[in-house]
């Protein structure tokens, strides 16, 4: 099919545009549409026009393949195409199916009539890239759906089902199935042909209190997303929609161009592309075809195992859930049922679908029941000996070609693979808790992992709705290896004079979802305690504060124990400073001989973030991660790093690597703890010397 196909149906021109996979509005598509519209305008046999996207979808907006290229702004621009549609003397009907987002929706808003399939989704998600709609969306949408709905859709960027827009001026008809036949009928009706085109730009927005409603929304956004300018600029543009259309359009354009150059938008756009690059394997290995996954087994019915099982069930893949203890298995099944019940209660799942998914689950106490599984994922206790027993058992019963996967977060995958007679079939699949919610999946490639096994794990990740990132084998892989120096600095900062609450507050103001001490209490301080004990045994030179060990010796494991770095008198969501911990910190300082000093929030942020960056540089240098952007994706999707800063490696690039290295050297000279900790990674040193960056030209 050509990019814009023209066909005549009685006296209606059907213009269907195609640009797989999402009908992005590339320059070629825009040019094709402009030419087709001009043809329709010049043809006396054409009385009306229907615009439709091919492949069961309208358009997801701009073609991301043209981002940051001259094609993105080459004539006809999207704004020029939209003017051509709206100014057409012959009525234009948009037939909206599938996705209609961003520039795609802005194009549809300029049509004179709109017919949508009930299951279509419409939205203006530009704020998620740090932008606002730039082709009239902030002016046309309020005129068609009202101010409140427009404010919600534009400032959140969240698409809505077409059914929710029924009854607004945005949709003239809502149909089940393909909207093109209904759009052709509407275009040939007297209602359309016998009346002048109804132009959105000529509509008046009769909402006298719009300014006040925008101010109320601004107050909400100030607390919800204080670091993001785009939602606030969107409100300014929406407020202008109550006035002359051209003035509002000019204000929107000015704000769009200013945001395009903002650091937040650059970071968000970088993160957008980084996520789409993650999981790509270069060279011949990247061309390997994966194996079929039709049945899965999950060994271990604890929190992680149950969450992983839900991921498979949500994807329609039957699962054997295996435990050695009947009570533990029963708890796991109940945990899975609770997850689905909660989704039903929140309206995210209907009861019939819940039962269909639960029917795919087979709980069992026998490992042998999973003999026909295509993949088996162990999610048992983080002990090499426990995992060894599981792998030996799986190796005995699984068919040739089945994949053995480990959910380990820190242990040596190569050693686990050596327990089997099929090292080539072993891969790491490190899910993050809660596994059914968190988007990140670290796919760990062992020394012997076959290319088709790696390809299978990556494709499985996408099938489960995860962002899959490849990691090599090392202690902690990408995410948890970097987390170790991050936490070690947090503990040293407290020894030197900060408080846990100050450290958490400073890094959360920077944008992290949670500070290190709140995270420790949430996950369980005993988890990191066990890891530190192992690392001290394995690495004679490993240096770390003993403060968190002493906290655990008091039984303060976190929320599950009623107290950790904080007390929780009002429940887990309300941490309060603990006098017990304050006393512990005071005694720790005395014993290690440190005089408390004032610690600034700026120092806290630099030490925590640059600890991540320096370890990330080592990971890149060792080839554990293929790209700096993969490291950023891990921290954006799995560790709560603020997206508007692009990830730790991108953030370091923006600070200047020479400046980052300078601070590392200063820290090594003046701070207690481990001077070697702050030695700049070789890659960081070389890039700082050459003026280079981790992320290239991003």
Domain range annotation of the chain: 4-260, 290-471, 484-690
279 Cα distance to chain centroid: 14
DSSP 94: E
pLDDT digits (tens, 9 = 90+) for 451-477: 999 999 999 999 999 999 999 999 999
Q: What is the pLDDT of residue 158?
A: 95
Under the banding of pLDDT at 50, 70 and 90, the label for residue 672 is: low
446 Cα distance to chain centroid: 26
Beta-sheet pairing, 121-123 with 99-101 = parallel
On whether the CB atoms of residues 475 and 309 are closer than 8 A, the answer is no
Q: What is the pLDDT of residue 189?
A: 94
Nearest to 210 by CA among 147, 254, 149, 163: 147
**pLDDT beyond 70 at 675:** yes
In 10 A of CB 335, how many CB atoms? 17
Under the banding of pLDDT at 50, 70 and 90, the label for residue 540 is: confident
Return the HEC string of 112-139. CEEEEECCCEEECHHHHHCCCCCCCHHH
Q: How far is Cα 388 from Cα 6, in angstroms, rounded to an integer?
A: 64
pLDDT digits (tens, 9 = 90+) for 586-622: 999 999 999 999 999 999 999 999 999 999 999 999 9
Average pLDDT over residues 501-519: 96
Q: What is the pLDDT of residue 698?
A: 60
On whether the CB atoms of residues 17 and 32 are closer than 8 A, the answer is yes
Q: How far is Cα 613 from Cα 630, in angstroms, rounded to an integer?
A: 13
On whether the CB atoms of residues 117 and 246 are closer than 8 A, the answer is no
Q: What is the pLDDT of residue 206?
A: 79
**pLDDT beyond 70 at 2:** no
pLDDT over 90 for what percent of the chain? 85
Q: How far is Cα 538 from Cα 530, in angstroms, rounded to an integer?
A: 13
On whether the CB atoms of residues 356 and 383 are closer than 8 A, the answer is no
Kindly state the tokens that stand for 352. Answer: 């019939």
Q: How far is Cα 564 from Cα 221, in angstroms, rounded to an integer?
A: 32
Q: Which of 333-347, 467-481, 531-545 has the lowest mean pLDDT?
A: 531-545
362: helix, strand or coil: strand
Output phi, psi for 468, to 5 deg: -95, 130
Average pLDDT over residues 249-275: 95
Of the CA atoms within 13 Å of residue 205, those in its CB half-sphere come to 28
Cis peptide before 434 (omega within 30 of 0): yes
Q: How far is Cα 36 from Cα 43, in angstroms, rounded to an integer?
A: 11
Residues 6+ apart with CB under 8 A from 139: 201, 237, 240, 241, 245, 248, 249, 252
Q: Regarding the domain delimited by 290-471, which CATH topology (the fold level of the hierarchy) does it fall under?
A: Rossmann fold (3.40.50)
Of the CA atoms within 13 Å of residue 99, those in its CB half-sphere come to 18
Residues 6+ apart with CB under 8 A from 383: none
570: helix, strand or coil: coil
> DSSP letter string over 136-183?
SHHHHHHHHH-HHHHHHHHHH---EEGGGGTTSTT-SEEESS-SHHHH
Q: What is the pLDDT of residue 697?
A: 65
What is the per-residue burial (b if ≥16 Cβ within 10 Å, else e) of 30-47? bbbbbebbeebeeeeebb
Helix (H) or strand (E) holding 99: strand 99-101
Q: What is the pLDDT of residue 131?
A: 95
**pLDDT beyond 60 at 1:** no
Q: Which residues are catalytic?
A: 106, 126
Helix (H) or strand (E) holding 6: strand 4-9
**pLDDT beyond 80 at 671:** no
In 10 A of CB 92, how many CB atoms? 27
448 Cα distance to chain centroid: 30
**pLDDT beyond 80 at 196:** yes
Q: How far is Cα 658 from Cα 403, in angstroms, rounded to an integer?
A: 45
Under the banding of pLDDT at 50, 70 and 90, the label for residue 287 is: confident
Partners of 121 in the β-ladder: 99, 161
Burial class (CB in 10 A: 0-12, 13-18, 19+), 185: middle
**Axis-axis angle for helices 229-240, 263-277 (nearest 10):** 110
Under the banding of pLDDT at 50, 70 and 90, the label for residue 339 is: very high
On whether the CB atoms of residues 264 and 228 are closer than 8 A, the answer is yes
Mean pLDDT of all residues in the chain? Answer: 94
pLDDT digits (tens, 9 = 90+) for 212-256: 888 888 888 888 888 899 999 999 999 999 999 999 999 999 999
DSSP 59: B
User: Residues 544, 546, 549, 550: what is their CA dihedral angle, to the nearest 10 degrees?
Assistant: -170
On whether the CB atoms of residues 591 and 240 are closer than 8 A, the answer is no
**pLDDT beyond 90 at 410:** no
CA distances from 610 to 174, 178, 616 (A): 53, 53, 9
**pLDDT beyond 90 at 40:** yes
**pLDDT beyond 70 at 155:** yes
Kindly state the tokens that stand for 241. Answer: 């929609």
CA distances from 52 to 57, 444, 672 (A): 8, 43, 66
Higher pLDDT, 669 or 92: 92
**pLDDT beyond 80 at 197:** yes
Higher pLDDT, 17 or 537: 17
Average pLDDT over residues 129-135: 95
Under the banding of pLDDT at 50, 70 and 90, the label for residue 39 is: very high
Sign for the CA dihedral angle at 662, 620, 514, 655 comes to positive
Higher pLDDT, 214 or 417: 417
**pLDDT beyond 90 at 296:** yes
On whether the CB atoms of residues 323 and 331 are closer than 8 A, the answer is no
Q: How far is Cα 73 from Cα 257, in angstroms, rounded to an integer?
A: 12
Average pLDDT over residues 63-77: 84
Class of domain 484-690: mainly alpha
Q: How far is Cα 561 from Cα 557, in angstroms, rounded to an integer?
A: 6
**pLDDT beyond 70 at 95:** yes
On whether the CB atoms of residues 366 and 323 are closer than 8 A, the answer is no
Q: How far is Cα 555 from Cα 559, in angstroms, rounded to an integer?
A: 11
What radius of gyration, in Å, describes the C-alpha atoms of the chain?
28
Domain range 4-260, CATH architecture? Alpha-Beta Complex (3.90)
Place of tokens 């899965």: 296
Q: How far is Cα 222 from Cα 236, in angstroms, rounded to an integer?
A: 14
Cis peptide before 474 (omega within 30 of 0): no
Kindly state the tokens that stand for 419. Answer: 């327990």
Q: How far is Cα 402 from Cα 291, in angstroms, rounded to an integer?
A: 9
Output phi, psi for 343, to 5 deg: -65, -35
Q: What is the pLDDT of residue 171?
A: 96
Q: How far is Cα 94 from Cα 84, in angstroms, rounded to an integer?
A: 14
On whether the CB atoms of residues 108 and 162 are closer than 8 A, the answer is no
Q: Which of 311-320, 342-351, 529-538 has the lowest mean pLDDT?
A: 529-538
Q: How far is Cα 95 from Cα 12, in angstroms, rounded to an integer?
A: 13
Kindly state the tokens that stand for 289. Answer: 């075809």
Residues 6+ apart with CB under 8 A from 675: 668, 669
Task: Quote the Cα angle for 230-252-110, to 5°.
Answer: 115
Helix (H) or strand (E) holding 675: none
């Amino acid at each position: 099919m050509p990019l814009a196909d023209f066909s005549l149906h009685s006296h209606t021109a059907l213009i269907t545009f195609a640009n797989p996979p999402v009908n992005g509005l590339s320059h070629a598509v825009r040019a094709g549409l402009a030419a087709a519209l001009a043809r329709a305008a010049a043809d006396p046999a054409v009385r009306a026009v229907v615009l439709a996207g091919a492949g069961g979808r309208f358009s997801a907006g701009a073609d991301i393949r043209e981002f940051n290229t001259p094609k993105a702004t080459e004539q006809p621009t999207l704004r020029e195409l939209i003017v051509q549609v709206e100014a057409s003397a012959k009525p234009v009907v948009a037939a909206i199916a599938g996705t209609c987002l961003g520039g795609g929706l802005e194009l549809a808003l300029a049509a004179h009539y709109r017919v949508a399939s009930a299951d279509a989704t419409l939205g203006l998600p530009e704020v998620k890239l740090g932008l606002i709609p730039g082709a009239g969306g902030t002016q046309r949408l309020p005129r068609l759906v009202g101010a409140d709905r427009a404010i919600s859709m534009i400032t959140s960027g969240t698409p809505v089902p077409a059914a929710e827009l029924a009854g607004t001026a945005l949709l003239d008809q809502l149909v089940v199935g393909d909207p093109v036949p209904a759009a052709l009928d509407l275009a040939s009706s007297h209602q359309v042909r016998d009346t002048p085109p109804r132009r959105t730009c000529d509509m008046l927005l009769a909402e006298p209190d719009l300014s006040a409603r925008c101010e109320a929304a601004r107050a909400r956004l100030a607390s919800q997303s204080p670091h993001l300018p785009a939602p606030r600029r969107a409100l300014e543009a929406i407020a202008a929609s109550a006035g002359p259309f051209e003035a509002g359009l000019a204000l929107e354009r000015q704000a769009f161009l200013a945001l395009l150059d903002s650091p937040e938008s650059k970071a968000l756009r970088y993160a957008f592309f980084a996520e789409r690059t993650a999981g790509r394997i270069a060279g011949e290995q990247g061309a390997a075809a994966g194996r079929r996954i039709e049945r899965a087994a999950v060994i271990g019915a604890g929190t992680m195992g149950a969450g992983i099982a839900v991921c498979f069930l949500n994807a329609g893949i039957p699962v054997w859930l295996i435990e050695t203890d009947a009570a533990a298995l029963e708890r796991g099944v109940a945990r899975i049922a609770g997850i689905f019940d909660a989704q039903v209660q929140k309206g995210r799942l209907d009861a019939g679908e819940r039962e269909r998914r639960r029917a795919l689950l087979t709980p069992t106490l026998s490992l042998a029941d999973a003999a026909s599984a295509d993949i088996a994922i162990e999610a048992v206790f983080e002990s090499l000996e426990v995992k060894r027993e599981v792998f030996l058992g799986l190796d005995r019963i699984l068919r040739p070609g089945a994949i053995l996967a480990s959910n380990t977060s820190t242990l040596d995958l190569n050693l686990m693979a050596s327990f089997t007679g099929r090292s080539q079939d072993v891969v790491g699949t490190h899910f993050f808790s809660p596994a059914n919610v968190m988007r990140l999946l670290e796919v760990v490639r062992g020394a012997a992992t076959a290319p088709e096994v790696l390809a299978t794990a990556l494709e499985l990740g996408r099938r489960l709705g995860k962002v899959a990132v490849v990691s090599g084998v090392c202690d902690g892989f990408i995410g948890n290896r970097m987390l170790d120096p991050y936490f070690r600095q947090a503990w040293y900062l407290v020894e030197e004079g900060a408080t846990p609450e100050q450290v958490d507050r400073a890094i959360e103001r920077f944008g992290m979802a949670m500070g290190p001490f709140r995270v420790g209490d949430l996950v369980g301080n005993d988890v990191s305690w066990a890891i530190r004990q192992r690392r001290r045994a394995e690495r004679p030179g490993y240096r770390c504060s003993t403060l968190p060990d002493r906290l655990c010796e008091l039984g303060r494991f976190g929320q599950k124990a009623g107290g950790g770095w904080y007390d929780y008198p009002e429940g887990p969501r309300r941490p309060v400073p603990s006098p017990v911990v304050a006393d512990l910190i005071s005694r720790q300082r005395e014993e290690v001989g440190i005089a408390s000093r004032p610690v600034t929030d700026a120092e806290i942020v630099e030490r925590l973030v640059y600890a991540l960056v320096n370890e990330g540089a080592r990971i890149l240098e060792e080839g554990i991660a293929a790209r700096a952007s993969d490291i950023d994706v891990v921290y954006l999707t799995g560790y709560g790093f603020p997206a508007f800063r692009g990830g730790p490696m991108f953030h370091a690039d923006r600070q200047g690597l020479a400046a980052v290295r300078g601070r590392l050297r200063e820290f090594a000279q003046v701070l207690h703890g481990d001077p070697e900790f702050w030695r700049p990674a070789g890659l960081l040193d070389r890039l700082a010397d050459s003026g280079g960056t981790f992320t290239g030209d991003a």
